[in-house]
């Protein structure tokens, strides 16, 4: 048996880094969350080369004492919790004490920090080697600079994305942080360019910074309490949908999460209003008692676990459906409609005076002062009282626990909760796997191993691809018959053409067959068309999210090749000045919505795929209909066009041909058993 080794700090910190720090955006996340926990009101973020070369986070928080600077780099060193019981009521974004130790083990880290009373001090840590503390100049707060991320783990560098892709992920993260902490001013620079800025003027101003002011006019502001669970923020109205889920943001007790229970509740609440490939817009703050939520279930704290998913689902579903359906109870949930008093800070900043901060106070009973500096709220006097958006409270009093427990008891007794849809949603947890250097193997050996692994995976992929292609080809050959061997036997219900070949009978849906043939012809014509661009009198302006903008920038040439004259028009905005001549009547909203429905890039941008629904509709209208009597010549022509392919499906996926064998028919008549 191999000897059991006690790993040194240099090794186990790198292992921990694989869980906490997998890419530049995760470094930014940890550092910004530390700044927020430190009470910062102004946070500046700077990255270079997507964060690979440099990440710098500067805040005006409490700062770090000189005597604590070395401890800050030690594993499991934190100011957030002190004992095991504290894990049951976590009120901060960070609590494990892993971030700085993990980051400094794979990068060159410099901390400059100053408290209210003391002087500024500087300390460095290069790959786990801590330097001396030196006095220096600096303002109150902390500045952490991370240079050359993964400089000592080249294997991990190999798995990093391109600079622009890494920058995009950091930008997405900053957008969530701006939305989640609208009372904090953020400034974000990438390669010397100011990407975005917020001024801490509230949620409306934050949404204008991340999206645009137009979205506020399409949203409903909510502020509701049900069974001790508080739900506030903005939801899109019955007609406001997006092409993907990047416009869906949820915070649980101030922490951004992606949770299946919440997503399912929102999806079902909008179910009767949303069409295919449409997703609701929302920015939601959900506050629950700390006793009923576990935030320590995911390495990156990206998900939470609720004590009872059914209660969370039911409360959220009931509140949202009441508002969308316009029931009487919606009056208790809908807050004041915002006034359009701010303009977007993308790409240019607005002055602080341009942001009108609402002063109306509103809060549910028994909520104490927030650690983010929110004033203590008073109980509302009536259900219809208007309000501003409330920052998420950091603590919930026992009054909340009582109502939650009552709801739980009702569920346990099998009683339907008042106004709540019963939904037995089983808890789902997401596991994220990341590559982690778990040994001290030499970089060259590690690199060779990874290259070999990638080569094997590529070979396996090519083999699998070849196998699937051969399988499809074999299936197509088996489904094809010689048309000269088939005998036409007549039409059934003037819809199904009957052909006989040996011991097989084929029933052909004349409408589905003709529809598929027309669709294939239109598809071929579209693929082989000559592209001519028709200039537009008024350009079409397309506003996008950060993720959508990055996706379009990466595929502009492909879209232009389709015949669209499109250019970037400011930050996260594009201008379409011309469309293909043969597609003048196309709906640009629907067209770009279809393109942006898969921003993962797994689907190629092909015109035939994007216009599939339109081509299918045209083919359906032009095809012969069921119940239409065809002449013998028309039947013969249709069968010849099929070229004996009995495996065809119509553009909507329905089978064109049904095959019956003589044996199957004789079994129906009990001739054989």
Higher pLDDT, 185 or 583: 185
Same domain (yes/no): 42, 147: yes
Question: What's the rounded Cα separation, in Å, for the pair 465 and 460?
Answer: 8
666 found inside a domain: no
- 29 neighbors 6 (Cβ within 8 angstroms): no
Query: What's the rounded mean pLDDT across residues 123-142?
Result: 91
Identify how many contiguous H helices and E strands the chain contains and give both numbers: 19, 25
| Segment among 107-111, 403-407, 558-562 with least mean pLDDT | 403-407
Query: What's the rounded mean pLDDT across residues 527-535?
Result: 82
204 found inside a domain: no
Closest by CA to 533, choosing from 575, 576, 561, 564, is 564
Question: What's the rounded Cα separation, in Å, for the pair 515 and 624?
Answer: 8
In 3-state terms, what secondary structure has residue 206? helix
Q: What is the pLDDT of residue 7?
A: 56
Q: What is the pLDDT of residue 596?
A: 84
Question: What's the rounded Cα separation, in Å, for the pair 281 and 279?
Answer: 7
Domain that holds residue 472: 441-479
pLDDT above 50 for 562: yes
Which phi and psi angles does 110 have, rounded to 5°? -125, 130
Query: What's the rounded mean pLDDT across residues 320-346?
Result: 69
Burial tier of 530 (Cβ tally within 10 Å: 0-12, 13-18, 19+): exposed
- 132 neighbors 66 (Cβ within 8 angstroms): no
Same domain (yes/no): 186, 242: no
Same domain (yes/no): 460, 605: no
> What confidence tier does 456 reach under pLDDT thresholds 50, 70, 90?
low
Angle between helices 612-622 and 510-527 (to 10 degrees): 130
Query: What's the rounded mean pLDDT across residues 608-623?
Result: 78
Read off the pLDDT of residues 343-352 as tens digits, 9 standing for 90 and up. 333 333 333 3
424 found inside a domain: no
Same domain (yes/no): 152, 232: no
Same domain (yes/no): 542, 461: no
In 3-state terms, what secondary structure has residue 176? helix
635 found inside a domain: yes
Closest by CA to 92, choosing from 395, 329, 352, is 395
CA of residue 587 relative to chain centroid, distance: 25
Burial tier of 460 (Cβ tally within 10 Å: 0-12, 13-18, 19+): exposed
Higher pLDDT, 150 or 526: 150
The highest-confidence range among 4-13, 530-539, 601-610, by mean pLDDT, is 530-539
Higher pLDDT, 421 or 667: 667
Query: What's the rounded mean pLDDT across residues 476-483?
Result: 72
User: Where among 164, 197, 230 does a domain terminate?
Assistant: 197
- 667 neighbors 509 (Cβ within 8 angstroms): no
Burial tier of 251 (Cβ tally within 10 Å: 0-12, 13-18, 19+): buried
User: Where among 457, 479, 501 does a domain terminate?
Assistant: 479
Same domain (yes/no): 50, 108: yes
Which phi and psi angles does 6 have, rounded to 5°? -90, 110
Closest by CA to 92, choosing from 290, 364, 376, is 290
pLDDT above 90 for 478: no
Same domain (yes/no): 32, 65: yes
Same domain (yes/no): 524, 591: yes
Read off the pLDDT of residues 492-501 as tens digits, 9 standing for 90 and up. 999 999 999 9
User: Where among 167, 197, 227 does a domain terminate?
Assistant: 197
Q: What is the pLDDT of residue 70?
A: 87
Same domain (yes/no): 231, 111: no
pLDDT above 50 for 381: no
Burial tier of 8 (Cβ tally within 10 Å: 0-12, 13-18, 19+): exposed
Residue-averaged pLDDT of the chain: 76
Same domain (yes/no): 186, 231: no
The highest-confidence range among 41-50, 123-132, 572-581, by mean pLDDT, is 41-50
Task: Please work out, in degrees rounded to the nearest 5, the angle formed at the alpha carbon of residue 111 by the alpha carbons of 109 and 115.
Answer: 165
Same domain (yes/no): 607, 579: yes
Q: Scanning the structure block, which residue is given the tokens 């649980």? A: 252
Terminal C-alpha separation, the chain: 63
Strands 134-136 and 120-126: antiparallel
**Which CATH number belongs to the domain containing residue 138 in this structure?**
3.30.565.10
Read off the pLDDT of residues 270-309 as tens digits, 9 standing for 90 and up. 988 888 778 999 999 999 988 888 876 655 567 788 888 8
Same domain (yes/no): 95, 69: yes
- What total of structural domains would you count in the chain? 4
> What confidence tier does 180 reach under pLDDT thresholds 50, 70, 90?
very high
The highest-confidence range among 335-339, 361-365, 431-435, 604-608, by mean pLDDT, is 604-608
Q: What is the pLDDT of residue 343?
A: 39
| Segment among 20-24, 306-310, 312-316 with least mean pLDDT | 20-24
Does the pTM exceed 0.95?
no
CB neighbour list of residue 668: distance below 8 Å, 6 or more residues apart: none
Question: What's the rounded Cα separation, in Å, for the pair 78 and 99?
Answer: 10
Question: What's the rounded Cα separation, in Å, for the pair 400 and 301?
Answer: 24
**H-run or E-run covering 261:** helix 260-269
**Which CATH number belongs to the domain containing residue 225 in this structure?**
3.30.230.10
Read off the pLDDT of residues 483-520 as tens digits, 9 standing for 90 and up. 888 999 999 999 999 999 999 999 999 999 999 888 88
428 found inside a domain: no
574 found inside a domain: yes
pLDDT above 60 for 401: no
Q: Summarize the chain as % helix, strand, coil (round to 5).
A: 40, 20, 40
418 found inside a domain: no
344 found inside a domain: yes
Angle between helices 309-325 and 260-269 (to 10 degrees): 30
Percent of the chain with pLDDT over 70: 70
Strands 573-580 and 565-568: antiparallel
Is the omega angle on the peptide bond into residue 347 within 30 degrees of 0, that is, cis? Answer: yes
Question: What's the rounded Cα separation, in Å, for the pair 599 and 594?
Answer: 10
Q: What is the pLDDT of residue 400?
A: 37
Q: What is the pLDDT of residue 551?
A: 83
């Amino acid at each position: 048996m191999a000897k059991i080794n006690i790993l040194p700090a240099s090794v186990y910190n790198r292992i921990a880094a694989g869980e906490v720090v997998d890419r530049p955006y995760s470094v930014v996340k940890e550092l910004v969350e530390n700044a927020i926990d430190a009470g910062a009101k102004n946070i500046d973020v700077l990255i270079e080369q997507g964060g690979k070369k440099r990440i710098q986070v500067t805040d005006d928080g409490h700062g770090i004492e000189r005597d604590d600077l070395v401890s800050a780099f030690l594993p499991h060193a934190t100011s957030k919790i002190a004992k095991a019981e504290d894990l049951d009521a976590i009120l901060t974004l960070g609590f494990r004490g892993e971030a700085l130790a993990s980051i400094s083990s794979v990068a060159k880290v410099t901390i400059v920090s100053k408290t209210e009373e003391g002087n500024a001090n500087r300390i460095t840590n290069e790959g786990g080697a801590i330097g001396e503390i030196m006095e220096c100049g600096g303002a109150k707060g902390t500045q952490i600079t991370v240079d050359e991320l993964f400089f000592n783990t080249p294997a991990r560098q190999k798995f990093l994305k391109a600079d622009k892709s890494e920058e995009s992920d950091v930008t997405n993260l900053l957008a969530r942080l701006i939305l989640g902490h609208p009372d904090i001013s953020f400034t974000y620079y990438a390669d010397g360019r100011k990407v975005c800025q917020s001024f801490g003027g509230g949620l409306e101003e934050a949404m204008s910074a991340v999206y645009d002011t137009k979205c506020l006019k399409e949203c409903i502001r909510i502020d509701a309490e049900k069974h001790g669970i508080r739900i506030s923020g903005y939801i899109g109205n019955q007609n406001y949908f997006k092409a993907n889920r990047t416009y869906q943001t949820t915070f649980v007790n101030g922490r951004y999460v992606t949770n299946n229970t919440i997503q399912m509740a929102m999806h079902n609440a909008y179910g009767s209003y949303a069409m295919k490939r449409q997703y609701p817009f929302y920015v939601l703050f959900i506050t629950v008692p700390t006793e009923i939520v576990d935030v320590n279930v995911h390495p990156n704290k990206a998900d939470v676990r609720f004590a009872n998913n059914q209660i969370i689902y039911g409360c959220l579903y009931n509140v949202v459906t009441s508002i969308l359906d316009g029931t009487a109870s919606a009056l208790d949930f809908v807050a004041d409609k915002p006034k359009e008093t701010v303009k977007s800070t993308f790409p240019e900043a607005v002055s602080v005076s341009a942001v009108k901060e609402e002063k109306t106070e509103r809060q549910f009973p028994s909520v104490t002062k927030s650690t983010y500096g929110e004033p203590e709220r008073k109980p509302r006097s009536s259900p219809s009282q208007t309000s501003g958006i409330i920052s998420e409270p950091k603590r919930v009093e026992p009054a909340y626990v009582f109502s939650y427990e009552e709801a739980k008891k009702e569920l346990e007794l099998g009683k339907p909760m008042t106004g709540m849809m019963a939904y037995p949603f089983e808890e789902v947890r997401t596991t994220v796997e990341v590559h982690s250097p778990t040994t001290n193997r030499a970089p060259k050996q590690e690199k060779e191993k990874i290259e070999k692994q990638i080569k094997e995976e590529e070979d396996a992929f090519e083999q699998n691809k070849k196998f699937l292609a051969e399988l499809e080809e074999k299936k197509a050959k088996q489904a094809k018959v010689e048309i000269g061997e088939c005998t036409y036997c007549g039409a059934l219900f003037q819809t199904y053409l009957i052909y006989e070949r040996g011991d097989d009978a084929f029933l052909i849906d004349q409408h589905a067959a003709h529809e598929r043939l027309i669709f294939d012809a239109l598809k071929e014509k579209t693929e082989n068309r000559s592209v001519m661009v028709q200039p537009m009198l008024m350009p079409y302006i397309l506003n996008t999210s950060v993720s959508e903008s990055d996706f379009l920038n990466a595929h502009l040439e492909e879209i232009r090749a389709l015949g669209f004259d499109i250019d970037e028009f400011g930050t996260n905005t594009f201008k379409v000045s011309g469309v293909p001549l043969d597609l003048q009547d196309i709906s640009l909203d629907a067209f770009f919505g279809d393109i942006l429905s898969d921003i993962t890039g797994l689907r190629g941008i092909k015109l035939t795929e994007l216009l599939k629904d339109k081509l299918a509709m045209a083919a359906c209208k032009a095809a012969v209909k069921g119940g239409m009597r065809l002449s013998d010549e028309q039947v013969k022509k249709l069968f010849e066009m099929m070229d004996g392919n009995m495996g065809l499906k119509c553009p909507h996926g329905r089978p064109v041909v049904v095959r019956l064998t003589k044996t199957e028919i004789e079994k129906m008549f009990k001739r054989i058993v």
